[in-house]
Structure 1
Amino acid sequence: MPSKSTDTSRSSSRYVLVEGDTQPTWAPTEHPEDGSVEPIAIVGMSCKLPGDVNSPSQLWDMLVNGRSGQCDLPSDRWNIDAFYHPKGGDRPGSMDTKGGYFIKDDIRNFENTFFGINNLEATYMDPQQRKLLEVVFECFESAGVTLEDMSGSNTGCYVGNFTMDFLMMQGRDPEYFHRYTATGMGTTILANRVNHVFNLQGPR
């Protein structure tokens, strides 16, 4: 998405106007220590979110229409009737809600060979790694760059993460652990996985 910098009357700060298929948005840029201004541009976006949102345009549609991503707990996750109770907060092993926010994509649907990952290694990959690779590729497509353009480029990857559900579930069966477990389930590997698969060489 193209962007341009402009001064505004609201303050002496410089803002970035991000333009695209959605409504323009204003965001303040960071001021480097030397006081100079470095404009930023969002040139590619992708997302997978609750509410069956699989693209930025679908996210915008959900926000504009005030739609919530909350839904009933999918039956393929677990049997909610076995745990639900109106006073679940006061009952050990119970919960007092029947819904939540869930991504509808089947995490087992992953074209690992497209990313150069063999079947055995893919089996031990946290679904977060799988979905992250898909979203990053879609982001490249959105930006209009090819894998050849990105390979070896001075590009950095930064990932925010806070759950280890897959590792905790697999830990119930110690015999399940494999030589690919460390690279497949460690949260510190998320950014490394992207860098390795797409051969990103930055920042430098």
Structure 2
Amino acid sequence: MKRIPLIPMIVVALAVLLMIGLGLWQLRRAEWKEGLLARYAQASRLPPMAWPAVPPTDGSLLFRRAGGFCLQPTGWTARAGRNRAGESGWRHIAACRTGGAEGPGLNVDMGWSKSADPPKSWRGGRVTGVIESDREHVILLVSDRAAPGLEPSALPSPEQIPNNHRAYAVQWFLFAGVALIISGLAFSRRGREPKP
């Protein structure tokens, strides 16, 4: 009588259950992402708003059109980015003082260039554009018009956000299927091998 390899079978079963669980989790993430992208698409169609006095951190304003007033740029940051033609280069982000009416400040992408050197001639003024989030999840305004000497940066769009969760789910289900097939072949081969 052949002995059933119990421990390897348990390990394979747990691994397959884990992979199926990860696939189901990715399907739930796909539904969540679709809802989020629908909310972003709706926000992009709303009327323009004034820059908020206290910007929320929940992403509720992303892709909304807005306007504000930069009394004075207090500093510049250059970040990798693209212009509207898709060329790689540097986005120039101004940290602006806004005064009491608009709260503590405004970060605004004032344009793109091949150089990381900040623009020297822009001293502030009225800015309008589209709200996006930076790496630290701080919202900033991507200006419609570039500062002198710069080109307009690429405008953010919900279409640029990938939703690969369904593909990831299929991968996890395929991994589970492959694990079952390989382990089934290994166990059946082991059962057929004669003992020495």
Q: TM-score, normalised to structure 2's length?
A: 0.19
Structure (1 or 2) with the greater strand fraction: 2
State the TM-score, normalized to the length of structure 1. Answer: 0.19
Q: Which has the higher contact order (CA 8 A, sep 6+)?
A: 2
